[in-house]
Amino acid sequence: MKMAVLVKQVPATENIKIDPVTGVMQRDNLQSELNPLDTYAVEQAVRMKKNFQQSTVTAVSMGIPAAQSILRQAIAMGCDEGVLLSDRAFAGSDTWATAHVLSKGLQKLGDFDIIFAGERATDGETGQVGPCVAVQLNIPVLTFVSEVKIEEDGKILATRSVEGGYELVRVSSPVLISVVKEINEPWIPDYNGMMKSRSASIKIMTAQDIGVDKADCGLEGSPTRVSKVFYPKLTRNGEVFSDSDPEKAAQKIVDFLKEKNIL
Ligand SMILES: Cc1cc2nc3c(=O)[nH]c(=O)nc-3n(C[C@H](O)[C@H](O)[C@H](O)COP(=O)(O)OP(=O)(O)OC[C@H]3O[C@@H](n4cnc5c(N)ncnc54)[C@H](O)[C@@H]3O)c2cc1C
């Protein structure tokens, strides 16, 4: 079985700041890491590789040259190789253009049976890239997957987490599967994995290598326009009820809530 995992480099912080003037994420001086939710996708692919002889897992990312480090992390976790799609022309890509680059890269790398993705990236958080890649490759997509099994006839049986329960879906490959945290507990890379990842060479592919037209990526190829980015203003006025007697203070709160018809 030939598998790919889509992995994204994200800022290693939850405190992401947006420039209020340009609407662009402020990435200066931010440490980066492998998108935490992608570690579950990597782990799942690696576990399945162990169960199927002659299986391979390729970690694929679109990003700046420094994103090689997250591909090394994926290799340390058990992926066979890492491929970075990197070109100045890709800068400014929205989710659709990102998915276009990824799908062209995946096509160039060969026919994958299963492409895994994380549920969402912790910076952009749209959860759109996985499904967009599937659309552009014209293959089925299963989102919010919490369990994957391969049946004897080679069909893929997946459990999807849906509102109020689970959905069992049976599909044929090729398929794109985006996974949720519940699917596994990612292993921390061991010494052998770390050593392997340090010496691994990351394949870098440019727009020309994967046949991406510059008009279909970057800002030019992005149908999304961010017109404004702003933080919601919270304008709540607090009111303090105090009394040296706690019971009287509590009564004041009760009276206030009754007056507002809340109680
Ligand atoms: C007009 C516009 C311009 C933008 N310009 C830039 C820019 O210059 N630089 C920039 O960094 N961002 C830019 N962005 C943001 C960029 O589009 C998103 O970060 C990117 O498309 C991924 O979307 P997301 O973070 O919502 O990922 P999600 O859709 O939440 O990610 C879901 C899953 O898809 C996979 N995935 C997502 N992105 C990648 C990737 N790059 N490589 C491999 N797998 C991936 C991962 O498995 C991930 O878990 C721009 C967005 C817009 C709208």
| Average pLDDT of span 69-74 | 96
> Which of the pair, 31 or 215, is modelled with greater confidence?
215
Identify the residue whose C-alpha is closest to ligand 1 atom 32.
Answer: 120
Which domains are assigned to the chain?
Answer: 2-216 (3.40.50.620)
User: DSSP states of 16-33 as a string?
Assistant: --B-TTT--B--TT--EE
CA dihedral 127, 155, 148, 169 (to 10 degrees): 60
Distances, alpha carbon 215 to alpha carbons 108, 140, 238, in Å? 19, 26, 52
Q: Is the pLDDT of residue 17 over 80?
A: no
Kindly report the protein residue whose alpha carbon is nearest to atom 12 of ligand 1: 92
pLDDT tens across 121-153, in order? 999 899 999 999 999 999 999 999 999 999 999
In this prediction, residue 228 has a pLDDT band, given cuts at 50, 70 and 90, of: confident
Q: Are residues 189 and 76 in contact, defined by beta-carbon separation less than 8 angstroms?
A: yes
SS3 of 227-258: the string is CCCCCCCCCCCCCCCCCCCHHHHHHHHHHHHH
Which atom from ligand 1 is nearest to the alpha carbon of 133?
34
Given this model, what pLDDT does residue 233 score? 79
What distance in angstroms lies between residue 129's CA and the mean position of ligand 1's atoms?
7
CB 73 within 8 A of CB 202: no
Residue whose Cα lies nearest atom 43 of ligand 1: it is 61
pLDDT in tens, 19-30: 766 666 666 667
User: What's the chain's average pLDDT?
Assistant: 93
The residue written with tokens 């699917």 in the block is: 183
